[in-house]
Structure 1
């Protein structure tokens, strides 16, 4: 299974949930119906991440907000929030994933899906969270 590809799909689906407010199961099923080639995708991991983010959303928002410098949570784009929530969830709740891996993957997602300043912004927020952990 490709964890990087699974994490990328989780980010896309979390972004979709933030817009459509569908539940996790429905969003995953819709994705499976409308896409192909899942050979190396770990949907158990994707579902675990999405469920974990949903169950711990308030904690994740407070943690992210508490580590922002001169920013408000409401100013962060939905793409960046999706990336941050996955990384912070992994750092705080997934003991089998090293924090540096979560941070690196988040920065890579930001490079691929967000604007030029987002990777350093995301790296800074996650770096602050890792220091406090």
Structure 2
């Protein structure tokens, strides 16, 4: 199973839902088919999308606390949706180490936005993860 591909499909689905108000099911199904994702990867991708959307209000509230001088709605759509996806994993998927989640989020950001954006997201996600793990955050 390619979790990286599953995450990419989940990100693209969330992005299309956010920007184009596309319906989730036909969007994710089409992306899964186009990318040849199979088996456990399909289930993982769906869990990421549905979990993120189910907890979107709490995720956005949690992220807002770490966006210094920024509002989530004013971020680039790529950044906003990468953050949401990663925050879902950090806050709700204890089976995935935060370091793995952050690394995967940075790879998505680099692929779909920029190296500079990835640096910004790294800072936000690192603070969120450390706070969630009970480590002191400055």
Q: Give the Å deviation of 1:20.
A: 2.4
- 1:81: which partner in 2? 80
Query: Structure 1 length as normaliser, TM-score?
Result: 0.90
Question: Which 4+ runs in 1 deviate beyond 6 A?
Answer: none
The aligned runs of 1:1-133 (5 Å cut-off) are: 1-32=1-32, 35-39=34-38, 42-133=41-132
**Unmatched 5+ stretches in structure 2:** 133-138
Q: Give the Å deviation of 1:40.
A: 7.4
Q: Give the Å deviation of 1:71.
A: 1.2
Q: Give the Å deviation of 1:75.
A: 1.7
- Over 3 Å counting, the alpha-carbon distance change for 1:113 and 1:40 in structure 2 is farther
Distance 2:77 2:40 in 1: 23
Distance 1:30 1:99 in 2: 29
Query: Structure 2 length as normaliser, TM-score?
Result: 0.87
Greater Cα offset, 113-122 or 87-96: 113-122
**8 Å CA contact retained: 1:2, 1:40:** no
**Unmatched 5+ stretches in structure 1:** none
Q: Give the Å deviation of 1:22.
A: 3.0
- 2:136: which partner in 1? none
**8 Å CA contact retained: 2:66, 2:128:** yes
Distance 1:132 1:95 in 2: 14
- 2:135: which partner in 1? none
Q: Give the Å deviation of 1:21.
A: 1.9
- Over 3 Å counting, the alpha-carbon distance change for 1:26 and 1:95 in structure 2 is same
Q: Give the Å deviation of 1:39.
A: 4.7
